[in-house]
Structure 1
Amino acid sequence: MADPGDLRCQEFVELVTEYLEDALPPAERARFQAHLDYCDACIIYIEEIRLTIRALGHLSEDQIGPAARDRLLAEFRDWKRAPNFAPTS
């Protein structure tokens, strides 16, 4: 069994896309899921990502104008660079 303390929230955030796309190797997936067993903040975070995907996932790239796309990408980059972008640890 994976050690839940083995994965910090920042790494969790970095791996969330691969997890949702079922692209993590089995050992990484086990670490990721073990983290979810005890971290309420990351449970909330991944649910917010899932809700966002459900709400916006139907949009194709050509349905989003270049300016809106650039702004969204800039917001995401800025958010990820923020000192407290990871849920808790």
Structure 2
Amino acid sequence: MTTMNCAEFVGLVTAYLDEELETGTERRFTGHIAECGGCDVYLRQIRVTVAELRRMPAHDLTDQTRETLLDAFRDWSAR
């Protein structure tokens, strides 16, 4: 089994949370979490963020705030 680096891990977090990883990739992903404390913390932060955002009613966001957030995440994922 090939190891996974942190950049690949970050790129797969959404697919992991959506349970869309192939079995071999998921094994590599969870293996990386076991070995990398930084990525374990990152995954926990993403889970907390997702949970908090789900609690926030969408209608509370102004159009400008929504667009700002979408732009920020678009830019972030391109990194």
Is TM > 0.5 for Structure 1 vs Structure 2? yes
Paired residues in the alignment total 79
1:8-47 correspondence to structure 2 within 5 Å: 8-47=5-44
TM-score normalised by length of structure 1:
0.75
Runs of at least 4 residues off by over 6 Å: none
For 1:57, the aligned partner's letter is R
| TM-superposed deviation, 1:15 | 0.4
CA RMSD after TM alignment: 1.8
TM-score normalised by length of structure 2:
0.83
Give ranges in structure 1 of 5+ residues lacking alignment: 83-89
Structure with bigger helix share is: 2
Higher relative contact order (CA 8 A, sep 6+): 1
| TM-superposed deviation, 1:7 | 0.8
